[in-house]
Amino acid sequence: MTAVSNHHVTKSIRPNILEMAGYAPGEQPQAGKFIKLNTNENPYPPSPRVVQAIREAAESSLIRYPDATATCFRQRAAEVLGVDPDWILCGNGSDDILTILTRAFVGEGELLRLPYPSYVLYKTLGNLQGARSEEVPFQNDWTLPDTFAAPSEGLKLAFLPNPNSPSGTVINHDDLRRLAAQMPCPLLIDEAYVDFADADCLALVREFEHVMVSRTLSKSYALAGLRFGFLVAQPTLIQQLVKVKDSYNCDALAIAGATAAIDDQEWLRENRQKVIATRQRLHQALEQLGFSVIPSQANFLWCTHPAVPLEPVYQQLKSNRILVRYMKYPQWSDGIRISVGTDDQIDALLALLPTLM
Ligand SMILES: Cc1ncc(COP(=O)(O)O)c(C=O)c1O
């Protein structure tokens, strides 16, 4: 039998995958020292209890497969959130939760709805399913039109990040409740950044069986490298979604670290205060430099500039080893998204910026 050439093998890939570009994550330079303000990581080290728990787990639990549903994490998180453990599904980062939901709800040719601009991965997940995506543009004040909750042929799932990325804005509780009540399909409220916001939407999960909330430990718990996120939804839904996930989607070290992290709410409160204080200071300083900055409820700021082109500013910051995220949305303005760093990191940014503009 002659070997099939690579060219032919590529042809066997499903057409929707051949056609898609693939998700491009923010730059993660592996060499050299950068001030990293481009992927909304937390600039501070995690709770020391996390490192301790991971060390203990590394010594004691690597031989065995991990607990498939991360029971100890769910028990502790349930207490913190005021739900029962069977309302929680854990994932290898909240991206894993988004994947599980897309696979569970959206089939080939069906429709996924998302706001625009928002988290770019949602559309990629739809593409992987061979599904269609419908992007509903935010209005000028970053609210959503009622069409976000309108019925549509084949509509199977809607994603709504709240706070949104890249804007850092939130849909207020009353508007969100109204959208949720009208929504003709399951609605995932992606609360990746909610610990930096004034309020969350867990009450809507209790109220509506089609509403789910996802959370991550990557941002507010400073654990982006650990990969741990979770979903809160009604138990009948969780029971179905468990079937879709990889058998052991969270490893033993991640479960141990995440459980210690959620257990240290005092660390979370202090970290949140520090990040929010720096966010305020950065916001004011950027406005003084002539940027238009949207009030943010997340750990980053979205800035545009009425006069200065921002792509060269991003490039020059990068040559000076400061990474921010430059984003250019077709039919929307371009801008830079700056993650809230430590005070020292933000001072370095603010010292350099005026010289580049
Ligand atoms: C809106 C939103 N959701 C989810 C995620 C994914 O977070 P993780 O997979 O690290 O939990 C991100 C990460 O940038 C995000 O911006």
pLDDT at 24: 83
Pocket test for ligand 1, best of 23, 38, 94 (most atoms within 8 A of CB): 94
What was the pLDDT predicted at 2? 54
Tell whether ligand 1 has an atom less than 6 A from the beta carbon of residue 38: no
Query: In the predicted model, is pLDDT for residue 160 greater than 90?
Result: yes
Ligand 1 centroid, distance to 165 Cα (angstroms): 9
Residue nearest to atom 7 of ligand 1 (CA): 94
pLDDT at position 307 over 60: yes
CB 93 within 8 A of CB 245: no
For residue 286, the model assigns a pLDDT of: 98
**What is the number of the ligand 1 atom nearest to the C-alpha of 228?**
11
> Closest ligand 1 atom, CA of 218?
10
What pLDDT is attached to residue 357? 85
pLDDT in the model for residue 330 = 76
pLDDT at 29: 81
* Pocket residue to mutate for ligand 1, from 170, 190, 191, 340, most atoms within 8 A of Cβ: 190
Residue 193 confidence (pLDDT) above 70:
yes
- Rounded distance between C-alpha atoms, residue 127 and residue 70, angstroms: 29
CATH class label, 48-264: alpha beta
Would you state the pLDDT for residue 56? Answer: 98
pLDDT at 37 > cutoff 90: yes
| Ligand 1 nearest atom to the CA of residue 91, by list position | 11
pLDDT higher than threshold 70 for residue 154: yes
Q: Name the average pLDDT for the chain.
A: 95
Taking residues 156-184, what's their average pLDDT? 97
Q: Contact at 8 Å (CB) between 338 and 349?
A: yes
Whether the per-residue pLDDT at 177 is higher than 70: the answer is: yes
How many whole angstroms from 226 Cα to the centroid of ligand 1? 13
* pLDDT attached to residue 288: 97
Residue range 264-282: average pLDDT?
Answer: 98
Say whether pLDDT at 340 is over 80: yes
Q: What is the pLDDT of residues 211-228, one digit of tens each?
A: 999 999 999 999 999 999
Q: Domain-by-domain residue ranges, the chain? A: 30-45+266-356, 48-264
Using one digit for the tens of pLDDT, what is the confidence trace for 86-106? 999 999 999 999 999 999 999
329 band by pLDDT with thresholds 50, 70 and 90: confident
Q: Find the mean pLDDT for residues 36-53.
A: 97
220 lines ligand 1 (CB under 6 A): no
At residue 35, does pLDDT exceed 90?
Answer: yes
Percent of all residues in the chain with a pLDDT value above 70, rounded to a whole number: 98
Classify burial at 103, counting beta carbons within 10 Å of its beta carbon; exposed 0-12, middle 13-18, buried 19 or more: middle
- The pLDDT of residue 279 is above 70: yes
Ligand 1 neighbour 133 (Cβ under 6 A): no
Q: Nearest 5 degrees, angle CA 80-CA 198-CA 274?
A: 85
Q: Is the CB of 41 under 6 A from ligand 1?
A: no
d(CA 258, CA 252): 10
Does this model's pTM top 0.85?
A: yes
Give the pairing type, strands 88-91 and 229-232.
antiparallel
* Mean pLDDT computed over 118-135: 96
Ligand 1 atom with the smallest distance to the CA of 98 is: 4
Ligand 1 centroid–CA 188 distance in Å is: 13
Is the pLDDT assigned to residue 1 strictly greater than 60?
no
Domain 30-45+266-356 falls in which CATH fold? Aspartate Aminotransferase, domain 1 (3.90.1150)
| Helix 265-288 × helix 343-356 angle, to 10° | 20
